[in-house]
Chains A and B, each alone.
Chain A
Amino acid sequence: MSDVPKDPCAAAVGAGAVDCTIVLQQLWEYLDSELGADGMHAIRTHLALCSKCYPQYDFEKGFLEAIADCRCTTCAPNDVRCHVIEALRRAGFCPDERAGAVNQ
């Protein structure tokens, strides 16, 4: 992407392509990989050429990655794990003590 067009949309909108408004509207679905193959391709192509949309894409991508990071910071406390195993044992569950899954 060495030549950034003066009009950021000009190079990005071609035959069969999408404009900036559509790209920005569908940005989250694109980032979630929830568009069809044609839609994914059209937006990917646009983002590669459009200096206006790319920063927005970059920001939203970072935002979603930051939310996903919450996954790493919240785990079940040991108490919860113990309560679950105790409840299951009362219901007849016999864990394989050698496997160690219940103690993780």
Chain B
Amino acid sequence: MALTPAEQREYDSSFEGEALPWLDDVYRFALSLTRNEADADDIVQETYLRAYRSWHTFERGSDARRWLFTICRNAFLRTRERARHQVELEDGDVEAVASQVAENTGSASGDDRLLTRLDLGPALSQALGRLAEPFRSAVTLVDVEDQSYDAAAEILGVPIGTVRSRLFRGRRLLQQMLTEYARDAGLPTPITPAVAPGATPQPHR
């Protein structure tokens, strides 16, 4: 059913007021998914086009940013499907990858004192860009975009426990990358604490 001119103006105005202000946020999320600026540009356009066409289905008063993130992720997955690239790992694979990373880097529990010596900003941005999926999208949504675990679960289409697991592993991987960065910068080896946040406790030997 076609809108009257007045309805169309109201439709556009509300979209402009509620959806467009989140363009930076959607771009950051798209960039975290694609790790490529040109691809992120395409995904953001696709996201906003889909959002505009579906704006009548958006529930006024609900969280427009969360809604846009969900559309963005779906647009990204559709793009990947079209390109016949399977980037989403099954949870079992995720566990295997994370275990392998932890094995390769030794204890995942620390290097904290070393990290406090770093100017984290540039190194962290770089490390976040290198963080593998699906950890990167969990860290981006919760830590950068300040989404709750529940919201991130809805956006990513996974159970909340999976978000928690990916988030904690992602944070640990980031800390490991920063530790490597610090070592390359010639900072001394740190003392490792006994228990890491989110870690399963290890029995004393």
Write the residues of chain A forming the contact surface with B, with a CB cutoff of 8 angstroms. 20-21, 24-29, 32, 34, 56, 59-60, 62-64, 66-71, 73-77, 79-81, 83-84, 87-88, 91-96, 99, 101-102, 104
Contacts and interface: CB of A to CB of B under 8 A. Distances in A.
Contacts of B125: 70, 73-74
A21 B27 CA distance: 39
B128 A70 contact: yes
B17 A99 contact: yes
20 contacts: A21-B201, A27-B198, A34-B164, A68-B144, A69-B124, A70-B128, A70-B144, A71-B28, A74-B27, A75-B27, A76-B26, A79-B41, A83-B45, A84-B45, A87-B49, A88-B48, A91-B53, A94-B8, A94-B12, A96-B12
A8 to B, nearest CB: 12
B174 A25 contact: no
Contact of A66 (B12, B121, B201): B121
B137 to A, nearest CB: 14
A34 B142 CA distance: 11
B72 interface: no
Given A27-B197, A71-B145, A94-B12, 20 more contacts: A24-B195, A24-B199, A25-B199, A25-B200, A26-B197, A56-B197, A59-B112, A60-B197, A68-B146, A71-B28, A73-B121, A74-B27, A74-B125, A76-B27, A80-B44, A84-B20, A87-B49, A95-B12, A95-B16, A102-B20
A75 B40 CA distance: 12
B176 interface: no
B41 A28 contact: no
B110 to A, nearest CB: 9
Interface of B: 8-9, 12-13, 15-17, 20-21, 23-24, 26-28, 31, 37, 40-41, 44-45, 48-49, 52-53, 112-113, 115-116, 120-121, 124-125, 128, 139, 142-146, 148-149, 164, 167-168, 171, 174-175, 193-201
B120 A63 contact: yes
A83 B45 CA distance: 7
B80 to A, nearest CB: 20
Nearest to B119: A66
B164 to A, nearest CB: 8
B121 A101 contact: no
Q: Which 9 A-B pairs have the closest CB atoms?
A: A76-B27, A66-B120, A27-B197, A24-B195, A67-B143, A28-B197, A75-B24, A59-B112, A87-B45
A96 B17 CA distance: 10
Residue from the set B20, B37, B115 with the largest chain A CB neighbour count within 10 Å:
B20
Contact of A101 (B21, B48, B168, B194): B21
